[in-house]
Amino acid sequence: MTASSGASGFCANSSCSHANNEHNYFTCKAHKCRVKWKICQTMSHDTGLTTSTKYAICKKCTAHPGGGPDGFEEMLDLA
Ligand SMILES: [Zn+2]
Ligand SMILES: [Zn+2]
Ligand SMILES: [Zn+2]
């Protein structure tokens, strides 16, 4: 086994379940907040009707729902 430099394991969000290394992390934009938003970039989430080609929010800052990365309003919210 070789140690990988990236994140290992799978997303804890049951609506996602993609590998953690397919995600990006963004620090919440709110002043002094260090909470990390977790964004899935596989662009393959089943929305029930179709497969979404948008990024998905797997984890967000609950204290600052508006503190996400650029364009997060357009993302699929799984959080
Ligand atoms: Zn995820
Ligand atoms: Zn995902
Ligand atoms: Zn925050």
What's the pLDDT band for 6 if we cut at 50, 70, 90?
low
pTM for the model stands at: 0.85
What is the average per-residue pLDDT within 12-21? 94
Give the ligand whose atoms come closest to the C-alpha of residue 11. 1
Q: 1 C-alpha to center of ligand 1: Å?
A: 24
Span from the CA of 31 to the centroid of ligand 3 (angstroms) = 8
Q: What distance in angstroms lies between residue 17's CA and the mean position of ligand 2's atoms?
A: 6
Q: How confident is the model at residue 3 (pLDDT cuts 50, 70, 90)?
A: very low
| 23-73 per-position pLDDT tens digit | 999 999 999 999 999 999 999 887 777 777 899 999 999 999 999 999 999
Cα 61 to averaged position of ligand 2 atoms, centre (Å): 18
In a 3-state reduction of DSSP, which class is residue 13? coil
Q: Looking at the CA of 52, which ligand is closest? A: 2
